[in-house]
Amino acid sequence: MVHVGIGYDVHALATGRRLVLGGVEIPHPKGLEGHSDADALLHAICDAVLGALGEADIGHFFPNTDPRWKGAPSRIFLEEAARQVQSRGGRIVNVDATVLAEAPRIYPHIAQMKANVAAALQVSIRQVGIKATTNETLGFIGRQEGIAAMAVAAVDLPE
């Protein structure tokens, strides 16, 4: 039976931080603020996969109060979500995600992001969709105060 989960994550942009999205470091004057590397895209995908399993969100597995995750690469979180699927005898059908950012341009980095996500989830790159859009200068995203990502995941689980 195919189960579907959704995920959403947002982080503020801050001076002195690296900007990491989809496991790709993107040159930009500001990066995302957070306990780990603050990769909003991987966090949203992780929550979507965990949601398809009926599990709690990423913060339940990797709380921002735990010093082990300080500065951690979010790939670790996504790999754990994939392990959770495998431990239940399931398989990831596909994931699809959208990054919402006024700047920088995300499109030049999408191929590498897809490859990173596919590797972490142990799926084919054809099972990963990543898109980007602006917020048309509206709200905190439009004012370049933060970046958000949303994702959906389909997971086939035994009944």
* pLDDT at residue 66, rounded to an integer: 86
Which H/E stretch holds residue 46? helix 40-52
Based on the structure, what is the number of domains in the chain? Answer: 1
Q: What is the reported pTM? A: 0.96
Segment 71-85 shows an average pLDDT of: 95
Residue 8's pLDDT is 98
pLDDT digit string (tens) for 102-136?
Answer: 999 999 999 999 999 999 999 999 999 999 999 99
> What is the C-alpha to C-alpha distance for residues 84 and 82, in angstroms, rounded to an integer?
5
The pLDDT, as a whole number, for residue 64 is 84
Residue span of the structural domain in which 47 resides: 2-156
Residue in the block written with tokens 């929550």: 47
Q: Where are the beta strands (DSSP E) in 75-141?
A: 91-100, 128-133
We report the CATH number of the domain holding residue 67 as: 3.30.1330.50
Question: What pLDDT is stored for residue 3 in this prediction?
Answer: 98
